[in-house]
Amino acid sequence: MGQRSFISGMGIISAIGNDVESNLSSLISKQSGIENPKLLGTQHKDFLCGEVKLSNDQLAQELDADPTHSRTLLLGMKAALETIDNANLSKEYLESTLFFNGTSVGGMDKSEWAYKGLTDGTTNKFAREFNTHDCGEITRLIASQIGLNSNVYALSTACSSAANAILLAGRFIRAGIADRIIAGGSDALSVFTLNGFNSLRILDPDWCKPFDANRNGLNLGEGAAYLLIESERSLAKRSAEPIAELVGFGNANDAYHQTASSPEGKGATKAITKAIESLSTELNIDYVNTHGTGTVNNDESESNALKKVFGPNSPPYSSTKAYTGHALASAGSLEAVFSILSIKNQTVFPALNVSKPMDILPNLVLEPEKKKLRQVLSNSFGFGGNCTSLIFQSV
């Protein structure tokens, strides 16, 4: 089976808090962070978004970083530094720690404005913005700013990017080719993505309500989150304590449509099944943190997939998207942190805004509940049919 993958630290910044503790207290008190955007420079201020409450200037000041950097970079630095701190990872180990980062917009929040200057003729230079536009450079910069190795992996599979970064970390450690990896993702809100999702007509003008029979679309969000994933020998070497274990992971493609999921959840079923088959231990999933975006299509497809895998008595499930909004490439790592917080606190976090649950699956969690949680399944699905499932276990 290979080496086991332990989580020994995590960091997060999202619409519901700037660190792990504040995210947890928002989840327990059913406090959503979704509201009209104050920072994003869009015409569509009426759309509800899960915007991180710190401005770029505030982030940069806290990080002692250049405030003109892309927000994706600043958010990534913030969450990665918390991860390092949370894991007590001392400087001597940083250089030998790999960095796997999921991002889909990269530095688009900067390059889109420079490109506007090109289209309306107000500027003809966008070299600097272009230089940090790509996912690879944003990832390399996050790593270099916090002292990590330059051998970085940038994964870009739309809304499953961060989940695939965590999956890759699990595979590297299992295969014995790495012992210590910071894995997760970062994505900032941008005018590009807000308009993109609006053009697809899948933004709910009201607060999103995943798994409600009358759900009407998603709210976009942003954020960054990372896990420090370590082998047993790395933990022993630095006398570190694990907080959870990554025990299963699966990746599959829906191969159905460019953006929509198959109604029966073909790709999701396969990803969950592969994650279960990959388990390094027995199956004990007690709760599912779903992808649950709140679109008519996703929630139907995902419910059908869960039903297919677990039968009519599937484990309790909920979506945390109504707290954070859909943070796109970083969603998988935000929800990995939430899954681990569930395990650590033996608490399931409730769905929000649901007045009439869908009738495909019972057990939608509607109130925070203390519960024995051995394993939590976390799903992330994206455009392009990319489906990834992760299983975390208590230690």
Site string for another protein, 43-82 (x = CB under 8 A): xx--------------------------------------
Q: Which of these ranges, 70-78, 167-175, 212-220, 345-353, lies near another protein under the rule CB under 8 A?
A: 167-175
Smallest distance, another protein to C-beta of residue 72, A: 13
Is residue 314 at the binding interface for another protein, with CB under 8 A as the rule? Answer: no
Q: Which is nearer to another protein, 54 or 154 (CB)?
A: 154
Is residue 308 at the binding interface for another protein, with CB under 8 A as the rule? Answer: no
How long is the chain?
A: 395
Is residue 125 at the binding interface for another protein, with CB under 8 A as the rule? Answer: yes
Q: Which is nearer to another protein, 201 or 372 (CB)?
A: 201
Total residues interacting with another protein, rule: CB under 8 A: 61
Is residue 368 at the binding interface for another protein, with CB under 8 A as the rule? Answer: no
Q: Which is nearer to another protein, 135 or 337 (CB)?
A: 135
Among 30, 35, 42, 62, binds another protein (CB under 8 A): 42
Among 156, 293, 375, 379, binds another protein (CB under 8 A): 156
Q: Which is nearer to another protein, 197 or 211 (CB)?
A: 197
Span 174-213, contacts to another protein by CB under 8 A: 175, 177, 191-192, 195-196, 198-200
Smallest distance, another protein to C-beta of residue 133, A: 8
Is residue 1 at the binding interface for another protein, with CB under 8 A as the rule? Answer: no
To which residue do tokens 């505030």 refer? 58
Is residue 126 at the binding interface for another protein, with CB under 8 A as the rule? Answer: yes
Among 51, 109, 112, 335, binds another protein (CB under 8 A): 112
* 161: nearest Cα among 387, 395, 391, 392: 387
With a CB cutoff of 8 Å and minimum separation 6, the contacts of 190 are 40, 105, 108, 109, 112
Residues that bind another protein (CB under 8 A): 42-44, 104, 106, 112, 115-116, 118-120, 125-127, 130-131, 134-137, 139-140, 150-158, 164, 168, 171-172, 175, 177, 191-192, 195-196, 198-200, 251-259, 266-267, 270, 382-386
